[in-house]
């Protein structure tokens, strides 16, 4: 039986050579295609011919197509090849060695060649660095119908459709919703993983080659920094105001469908008491009747908040009573009584003390359990209800108001604090407040508590304006704190030489620079400068207007290997917000899986062979998510002789690699990490 044919794009480099060997090992007759597109050095094509002969390909063709007429790349125009760049620089944006539309053109040629020789499989040695975060990392995602904060693992598992995430355009520093073009899961068991904790409590776990963002000390520009280069004391970029994205939650959730409540109850009780009665859910006595289309009104949401603060039941509890300890909250008992009276349920004070009140209702107890509201503060298992991220932002404020009336402190030493052993409540609350432009501080507290603080006068003002607290003393405290005049250092710009150079270079009126230095705190011991002081410095305008803060790395902890980590590709931004921290996603745009999938689809729509049903074209990129070390190990396993390959962007006339361009550095690092001797001839 004849072996299937495959066209392999062969440049003579490490990646394409390994790809050709992999195609051959997969049982294909390899038809190698090289392209003379006007690249700097012909030695690359000579190496491709030698590799093709060594691999014993069925046929090797070279097509001439001069892309120098287009230019736009250090490989096809009179543009210097970047050398001696750091790993962080290499991970920043699209490099100048990117040849405009090269892979699109090369794959187009390979597709034509494939039609000619009767092949339906095309191999390309595309390879991008992985940028990966832990599966529990939470990201923002929205469609036309919903918007949620969810673990990236769950985002990856969603069905194909159009999604957007909150991201920042690294050029303009504009924050908003950007299209998600791919959701990826990477095998990372061989990579190092790091948990990074910041001074305001944000924590994110990244792989060694994933980049977060920092401030370049020399230029005051926002730039990526790899996970394995992050150290305590350095600043990382954190969005502190997501209010521009909050319009995704403008519409109120009017009702909940609780028709499944009887069936859920049947799985919980041997003798279930909850039944469906027409358009109502009730118990066998038919005393309390809840509409199947249960109204999510403001009073219900405030009661849920009070429950999270001052209620609680063990998840396994079957006692049909909800206990609220709200006697110390002005007006709370009266609001509870009025709300449950709508459904014929009495709220009874405890005979033991003046603080506790009981709601004896099997229907409401089952509803609260079904909505994920069972859990105790002592066990740290309280959660916001399952429908929380379906609410509008206005509705979430009502839940938070009930919670804060119960658990939030009054102002002490300029701060208010909400303390919880239920860390999930604090984590969600942090993100809710960010959507209103409130920038909390989260700390670890005693007795396994997590503490959320508000301390900026602007945050107090926003909180009093937007959150309908019923506790009069707390409202008065927060209003007084909002009127306080204080310098806001939490969102200040990170002090660095680049910041002061920008001021020195600015054309400001006489005395203007001195005023910026003084207002900005150049000579103060703190690490952050007052943001407003730089409003008139043109080079810093985008940074000053941006909703980006700089939080100091408090600790970096290496974790045991993580089997899989996750990533988003984001169009127009190459970033996404991960657990409140700005994360990076970049690389060559025509090496991404979404590009290759799109080309494959086009190939089957735009060719005679594809449209006539002779077969289906497939684009293979077997190295796409491998590190250089993994590629080299695979090539060694396949018997590849890497001495004949050349990866360099700028070899000399003798064909020796420069050893300093990005490609050479990645190649050298790959051989070192693979534990394989590097056979490359480098220039002295």
The binding site for Zn(2+) consists of 648, 658, 661, 664
Annotated binding site: 10-20, 648, 658, 661, 664
CA-CA distance, 535 to 516, in Å (whole number)?
A: 9
Strand partners, 238: 549
Q: CA-CA distances (angstroms) from residue 308 to 303, 347, 425?
A: 9, 17, 9
Candidates 663, 440, 563; CA nearest to 187 is: 563
Q: CA-CA distances (angstroms) from residue 597 to 23, 590, 619?
A: 19, 11, 8
CA-CA distance, 406 to 312, in Å (whole number)?
A: 13
Annotated binding site for ATP: 10-20
Candidates 314, 39, 144; CA nearest to 322 is: 314
Candidates 450, 451, 476; CA nearest to 463 is: 476
Rg (CA), the chain: 30
3-state secondary structure of 321: strand
CA-CA distance, 593 to 182, in Å (whole number)?
A: 7
3-state secondary structure of 290: strand
CA-CA distance, 107 to 559, in Å (whole number)?
A: 40
Candidates 496, 498, 530; CA nearest to 516 is: 530
CA dihedral (585, 586, 590, 592) positive or negative: negative
Candidates 382, 459, 472; CA nearest to 427 is: 382
DSSP letters, 58-89, are SEEEEEE--GGGT--STTTSS-PPPBS--HHH
Question: Where do we find the tokens 């052993």?
Answer: 421
Angle (nearest 5°) at CA 99 between 95 and 105: 145
CA-CA distance, 625 to 15, in Å (whole number)?
A: 12
Q: CA-CA distances (angstroms) from residue 265 to 268, 283, 371?
A: 5, 11, 12
CA-CA distance, 68 to 163, in Å (whole number)?
A: 38
Q: Which phi and psi angles does 488 have, rounded to 5°?
A: -95, 100
Q: CA-CA distances (angstroms) from residue 434 to 163, 279, 457?
A: 21, 39, 15
Candidates 554, 559, 583, 585; CA nearest to 571 is: 585
3-state secondary structure of 524: coil
Question: Where do we find the tokens 């595309």?
Answer: 126
Termini Cα distance of the chain:
51
Structural tokens at position 2: 């004849």
Q: DSSP letter at 490?
A: T
């Amino acid at each position: 039986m004849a072996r299937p044919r495959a066209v392999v794009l062969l440049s003579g480099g490490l990646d394409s050579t390994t790809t050709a060997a992999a195609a051959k090992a997969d049982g294909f007759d390899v038809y190698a295609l090289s392209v003379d597109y006007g690249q700097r050095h012909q030695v690359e094509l000579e190496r491709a011919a030698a590799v093709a002969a060594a691999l014993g390909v069925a046929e090797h063709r070279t097509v001439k197509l001069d892309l120098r007429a287009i230019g736009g790349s250090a490989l096809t125009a009179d543009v210097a090849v970047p050398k001696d760049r750091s790993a962080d620089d290499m991970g920043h944006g699209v490099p100048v060695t990117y040849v405009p539309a090269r892979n699109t053109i090369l794959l187009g040629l390979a597709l034509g060649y494939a039609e000619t020789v009767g092949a339906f499989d095309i191999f390309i040695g595309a390879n991008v660095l992985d940028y990966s975060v832990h599966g529990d990392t939470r990201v923002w995602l929205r469609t036309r119908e919903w918007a949620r904060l969810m673990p990236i693992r769950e985002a990856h598992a969603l069905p194909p459709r159009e999604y957007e995430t909150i991201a920042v355009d690294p050029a303009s520093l504009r924050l908003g919703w950007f299209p998600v073009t791919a959701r990826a899961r990477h095998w990372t068991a061989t990579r190092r993983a790091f948990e990074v904790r910041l001074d305001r409590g944000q924590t994110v776990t990244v792989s060694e080659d994933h980049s977060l963002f920092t401030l370049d000390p020399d230029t005051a520009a926002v730039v990526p920094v790899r996970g394995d280069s992050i150290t305590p004391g350095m600043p990382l970029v954190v969005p502190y105001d997501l209010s521009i994205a909050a319009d995704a939650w403008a519409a109120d959730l009017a009702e909940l469908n609780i028709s499944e409540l009887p069936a859920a109850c049947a799985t919980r009780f041997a003798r279930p008491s909850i039944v469906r009665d027409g358009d109502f859910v009730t118990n066998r006595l038919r005393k309390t009747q809840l509409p199947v289309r249960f109204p999510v009104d403001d009073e219900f949401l405030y009661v849920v908040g009070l429950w999270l603060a001052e209620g609680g039941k063990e998840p396994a509890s079957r006692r049909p009573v909800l206990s609220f300890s709200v006697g110390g909250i002005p007006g709370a008992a009266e609001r509870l009584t009025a709300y449950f009276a709508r459904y014929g349920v009495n709220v009874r004070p405890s005979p033991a003390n003046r603080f506790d009140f009981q709601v004896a209702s099997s229907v409401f107890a089952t509803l609260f359990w079904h909505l994920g509201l069972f859990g105790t503060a002592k066990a740290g298992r309280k959660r916001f209800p399952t429908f929380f991220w379906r609410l509008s932002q206005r509705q979430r404020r009502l839940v938070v108001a009930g919670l804060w009336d119960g658990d939030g402190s009054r102002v002490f030493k300029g701060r208010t604090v909400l303390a919880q052993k239920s860390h999930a409540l604090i984590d969600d609350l942090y993100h809710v407040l960010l959507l209103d432009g409130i920038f909390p501080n989260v700390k670890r507290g005693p007795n396994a508590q997590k503490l959320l603080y508000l301390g900026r006068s602007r945050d107090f003002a926003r909180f009093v304006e937007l959150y309908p607290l019923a506790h009069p003393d707390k409202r008065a405290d927060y209003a007084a704190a909002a009127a306080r005049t204080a310098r806001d250092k939490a969102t200040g710009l990170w002090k660095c030489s680049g910041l002061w150079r920008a001021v020195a270079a600015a054309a400001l009126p006489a005395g203007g620079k001195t005023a910026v230095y003084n207002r900005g705190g150049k000579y103060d011991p703190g690490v952050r400068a007052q943001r407003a002081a730089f409003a008139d410095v043109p080079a810093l305008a985008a940074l000053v207007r941006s909703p980006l803060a700089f939080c100091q790395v408090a600790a970096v902890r290496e974790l045991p290997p993580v089997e899989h980590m996750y990533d988003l590709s984001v169009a127009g931004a190459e970033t996404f917000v991960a657990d409140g921290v700005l994360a990076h996603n970049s690389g060559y745009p025509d090496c991404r899986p979404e590009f290759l999938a799109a080309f494959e689809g086009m190939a089957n729509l735009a060719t005679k062979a594809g449209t006539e049903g002779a077969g289906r074209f497939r684009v293979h990129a077997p190295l796409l998510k491998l590190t250089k070390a993994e590629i080299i190990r695979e090539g060694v396993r396949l018997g590849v002789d890497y001495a004949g390959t050349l990866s360099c962007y700028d070899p000399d006339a003798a064909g020796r690699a420069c050893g300093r361009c990005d490609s050479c550095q990645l190649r050298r690092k790959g051989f070192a990490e693979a534990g394989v001797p590097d056979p490359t001839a480098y220039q002295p």
